[in-house]
Structures are given as structure tokens and as C-alpha cells.
Chains A and B, each alone.
Chain A
Amino acid sequence: MDYGILIAQATINGLIVGLLYLLMAIGFTLVFGVMRMVNFAHGEFYMLGAMAVYVFTVHMELPFLVAVCLSFVVAIVFGSLVEWVVFKPFRHDELNGMIATIGLAMILQNLALIIFGPDPLSVPPVAQGVTQISGVYIPNSRIFVVFFAVLVLALLYFYLKKTRSGRALRAVVEDFKIASIQGISSKVYYPLGFGVGVGLAAIAGALMAPLFSVSPFVGAAPLLKAFMVVILGGLGSIPGAAVAGLALGLIESYASLFLSASTADMLIFLVVMIMLVLMPRGILGKGEV
């Protein structure tokens, strides 16, 4: 067995997984940046995105891409509404806000359980076959997912850097008081920030739906990953989340090559704890403290 190919394969796999962590974590960190709220319901929005794709493709027989876009829109609207109705009193109230999101997570997960039942559902695959690039195998369905994840990130980058509303959102993340002096309205940008954040989680869920099965419980694992990425990258830091997301994907992939999966998991939690204590501002030092 050639080690070069093994490592190349692990790198590709790590980057693919890392991209999805990235999508989850950027939404998570955006919500924290805007509202100072650690969103324990983030994984449930991932689940909602996956469920929405299931409903749109299987029941309504819409094409996959339309389904993904629709689930994003649904998540933004629903997320903004939830922020406005439920979380408005908890803005900048870190601890109570966080506990409130735990409540929301319980409600969402169990509503999904009532509606869809506990059994895993499957979404038809978007692409078949495998592509081979100089000895490295990549399933086409994954290439498809990576392509759209990159597209979403590019659009997000454009939105945050170039558009008026995206720049306002970043200003809110930086410093809400100064942003509001500049005429940025909290009425609009709190719900929008939350909506866009959970919308990204929903997109991640929607893209992953054809690769894995869908059930009301699928949100827990991505939530955990988002936590770890965001802690490593620094809470509230978008560039930090980007670097840490890809890094975590790669580390996991390499670690599973050389260590057992459970050892790798434990090591990562240990690293997360050490990072929290030693560098709470994250690897780029840009997170808020």
C-alpha cells in the first residue's frame, strides 16, 4: 500500500468533511457574534434543513437543487421569526439566552419526532459513480456536495464583504453599539443574523441529506463539531471558524488513519479543552472574550 496515496485520500476526505464543518461553524459563530448567544439549537436547524430536503424531493418531487434553495429560504424565514418571537428578550444575555436555545432545541427535535417518526429516512442520491484522480477515489455525490458547499461559501463571502446588508451584519458582529450609532437597526439585523446563521446550518443539512440518512436525531453530531470548530477558531470569529473547520476535518481524517476513531475523538476533546483554557480567543486570536 502506498502511503502517499493513503495520505492524499485522507486529505481529500478531510477537506470534504471540513467544508461541512465549516458551513455549520460559520453559522454558529455568526449567531454568537451578532447576539452573543451560544445556539444549542443549531444542530436542530441542520436537521430541519435535511428534513426539508426530504419533504421537497421525496414528497413534492422537486429537483434537488431547488429543494436545497427552498430549505435555505425556509430556515432563514423560520429562524428570523423564532429570533423575533422567542429570543428577543435574551439578546446579549449570554447564559439565559443559551439555556433558552436548549429549550428551543428540545421543542424542535421532538416536533420533528412527532411529524416524521424516529426511523431514518433516505433521500435519493444526487450523483452516482466514483471519480479517480491519480489513484485517489472520490464518490461523485461527494464532489457534488463539495461543489455546492464551496458555492455557498463564495456567495456568503460576497454577501458579507460586498453587499450593504452583509457589511452591516459584520458591523453588528464587531460592535453592536457603534453599529447602531451608524444607523444599523437592531430590529432588522438581529433576526436577520440569526436567520442567516441557522440558514447555513440548514444548507449543510440539506447538502448532507443525500449522503446520509435523515432522522430527527441527526443534528447532535454536527452541533458537537460546530462547537469544537468554533472554540478552536474563537467564538464570534468567522475567519477563525474557516481555518478551524478545515483543520478539524483534516485532523480527524488523518487521526483515523493512524489512531482508532475513539482515541481520535478523545484527543480532539482534550485539545478543545486545552484551547479553551489557554487560547480562548481561538487560533487566529480574533474571537471575542
Chain B
Amino acid sequence: MAGQNVLSSTQSAGRGGQVVPFILLAVVAAWPFFSGPFVVHLAILTCLNILIVNGLSIIERSGQLSFGHSAFVAIGAYVSVLMTQYWGTGIVVSAIGGIVIAAVVAGVLGAIILRLTGVYFVLVTFAFAELMRLMLLDWAAVTGGANGISGIAPIDLFGFVFDTRGRFYVLAMVVAIASFLFMLRFYRTPIGQAMDAVRENPTLAESTGLGVYRLRLLAFIIGCSLAGFGGVLMARYIGYISPETFNISISVSLITMLVVGGRRSMWGPLVGAVILTPLPELFRGAVQTQHIFYGAALILILRFLPDGLASLPSRLRKLTRSDA
């Protein structure tokens, strides 16, 4: 219901209400082109986070919160890098490999664990993420163990090498926009709407003939594939991966972005990633202060704005309307 409310309220706000956020976004997205390399770096990370948090959002919108999202980022990253390393595959094949393996693992794992709901699902995904980290550490002969893998070559797409930050930013931005458009499109399809229905009331959805379990499985697979894709790109951009690149604290910050941005709207992951990704860097030198800020923001948003910052405009609109 609420998901649809957000939709209908933006539609009823008319053209002006729809265009403003896009203009704002275009300005923010263009800004890095006119500033230093550090800002571009942050912008790239933000774009990758948009992609990954969109994946988390799809899972969340089927009514399940995954605490193991970082594990699928890790799978995408490791599989694609190892494919190139051992079989010399190009980026396209490696990327597809990383995404497919992430999807397959999600499918197998999801088929087993999606019987669980609520905190039980959270805990089992948490355990899976730890298991994945330990496996990557332990399987040192292949994964390099705690040392990780360094010197990963940048993306080379049909002879065009994304070796500068500016170039990679364009790629990351295209991917982020594509994932956003995918979300926009996906939740207008019958399957997407069925998933929203499952989140709102699984029992009702089940009784109207929707296969709750299957829809959740599909959402889990799609969401984890996006995470895997994010991992593929992140490994190539940073050039270094280790099991600690994908530890539990990454899952925590992904959840923070989703919750602070908003769990019930398309804009949530985008808003969360855009606001929270650069924050750690702004507080550089005082990482503790930044984490305290993260924690406080999480609690305050949950308390006073449970649908996240993305719900702020419609909230304000309602406030002004009731005042008038």
C-alpha cells in the first residue's frame, strides 16, 4: 500500500513534482566532472552503492532483510577476478560469470533459507556472510587468503580501457542509472507489483494466489545478482580485493543506506547512497565521529521517519496541505 502511495503521490504532484528530483540529480551527477579526482572517486563509490543497495532494496521489498548482502558482492568480485586470473577470460565473460554464480548461489541458498522470516532470516544471512568470509580466508591457495588479490587490471571493454577515474565514473553512472530505471520499470510489471503485495501482507498475497515463496526467491536472486554485479565493478575499480573488503560492516552500511534512504520507495537506495557514501570521507580524520553520526542517524530515522529520507517530500507536502 505505502509503496503504491509513494508512486501515486508523485504522479498526482504533476510534472513539476516529477522533474525537480531529476534536475537535482543531474546537477549532483555532473558536479564531479568539474571538481578534483577525490570527488570523482566518491561519486564512483556512490554509483556502485546505488547499484548494490538497489539489489538489497529488491530483497527488502519482498519482505526479507538480508544481512549477508556483502557476501554476494564478494562472490561477484572474486568469481570475476579469478576467472580472468585462471582462464584469461575478458571482462564481459568474467562479469557474466560473477553475476551468474552470485545468482546461482542465491538461488540454492534462498531455496533453503527463504522458509525463514523476520529476524530468523536476518540471522541466517548473517551466518552465511561470516561463513563466506571464512571460506575466502581459508581457501588461500585460490583466493590469496587474508592477503587478498592485488593488481587487478582495469576494465577493458572492446579495446576501450576504463583506467582513469573520469572514464570509470561514466561507466559507473550509466550502470547506476540503468539499475534505477530497471527498478522503476520492474515495479510496474505484474511480478514487481506482486512482490510489493507480498511485502505488505504475505498472508493476503498468498490467499489471492500469489506464490509468496517463489516471489521471494526471485527477489532474492535478482537482488543478489545486482550485488554480484556491484562486486565485479568494485574489484576492477579499486584493483584490490580481500575477504575484509566484504565483511559484515559492509552489510551494515548497506542496510544503513537503505533504511536512511527509505525502504518503500524507488528513490530510497539512491538517496541513501548519495547521502551516506561521501559522509565517511567528509569526516576523515575523525572516523569515530562519522560512525556515531551513522548510528544516531539510523536510530533517529527509524524513530521519526521510518520510510526514510525519500519519504520526506511527500511528508512535507502533507504537512503543508493540512496547514492550509
> Which residues of A, 87-142, contact B by the 8 Å Cβ criterion?
89-90, 94-96, 98-100, 102-107, 109-111, 113-114
Tell me whether B220 is interfacial, beta carbon within 8 Å. Answer: no
Q: Which of B135-168 contact A (CB under 8 A)?
A: 135, 137-138
Contact of B120 among A96, A270, A276 (CB under 8 A): A276
The answer to whether A110 and B292 have CB atoms under 8 Å apart is: yes
For A182, the chain B residues whose CB sits under 8 A away are none
CB-based contact A273/B113 at 8 Å: yes
**Known pairs A102-B256, A107-B292, A269-B127. 16 more at Cβ < 8 A?**
A38-B123, A90-B302, A94-B119, A98-B119, A99-B255, A103-B256, A103-B295, A103-B297, A105-B295, A106-B291, A107-B291, A110-B291, A111-B288, A266-B135, A269-B134, A276-B116
Residues of B within 8 A of A86 (CB): 299
- The listed residue with most B CB atoms (<10 A of its CB), out of A89, A265, A273, is A273
19 contacts between A and B (CB under 8 A): A89-B303, A90-B302, A95-B65, A95-B118, A96-B306, A99-B65, A100-B299, A102-B252, A102-B256, A103-B296, A106-B295, A111-B292, A227-B126, A235-B119, A266-B138, A269-B127, A269-B130, A273-B113, A276-B124
Q: Which 5 A-B pairs have the closest CB atoms?
A: A106-B295, A103-B298, A107-B295, A110-B288, A103-B295
Distance between Cα atoms of A104 and B255 in the complex (Å): 14
CB distance from B248 to the nearest CB of A (A): 8
In the bound complex, what is the Cα–Cα distance between A98 and B123 (angstroms)? 11
Contact of A276 among B113, B252, B295 (CB under 8 A): B113
Q: List, in ascending order, chain B residues with CB within 8 A of A106's CB.
A: 252, 291-292, 294-295, 298
Smallest CB gap from B118: residue in A: A94
Closest CB in chain B relative to A236 CB, distance in Å: 11
Range of interface residues on B (Cβ < 8 Å) = 35 or more
- Measured between C-beta atoms, what is the minimum distance from A151 to chain B in Å? 31
Residue in B122, B126, B303 whose beta carbon sits within 8 Å of that of A95 in the complex: B122
Chain B contact residues: helix, strand, loop or mixed: helix
Contact A280 B131 (CB under 8 A): no
B112 at the interface (CB under 8 A from A): yes
Residues of A within 8 Å of B137, CB to CB, are 262
- Does B240 belong to the interface (CB within 8 Å)? no
A270, chain B: closest CB distance, angstroms: 7
The reply to whether the CB of B180 lies closer than 8 angstroms to some CB of chain A is: no
B140's nearest neighbour on chain A, judged by CB, is: A262
Q: In the complex, what residue of chain A is closest to B121 when comparing beta carbons? A: A276
User: Is A277 interfacial (CB-CB < 8 Å)?
Assistant: yes
Chain B residues within 8 Å of A104, by CB: 295, 299
Name which of B65, B127, B289, B296 has the most chain A CB atoms within 10 A of its CB. Answer: B127
In the complex, A198 has a CB within 8 A of chain B: no
Instruction: State whether A227 and B134 are in contact (beta carbons under 8 Å apart), knowing that A90-B302, A103-B294, A277-B112 are contacts in the complex.
Output: no
Look across to chain A and name the residue whose beta carbon is closest to the beta carbon of B248: A220
B115 at interface, CB cutoff 8 A:
yes
Cβ–Cβ contact B116 & A273, under 8 A: no
Say if the beta carbon of A31 comes within 8 Å of chain B: no
Contact indicator per residue, chain A 198-235, by CB within 8 Å of chain B (1) or not (0): 00000000000000000000000000100110010001
Is A247 at the interface (CB under 8 A from chain B)?
Answer: no
- State the CA gap A1–B292 with chains docked (Å): 52
Question: In the assembly, what is the distance between CA of A265 and CA of B122, in Å?
Answer: 20
Q: Is the CB of A95 within 8 A of B299?
A: no
Q: At the interface, yes or no: A272 with Cβ under 8 Å from chain B? A: yes
Contact A38 B298 (CB under 8 A): no
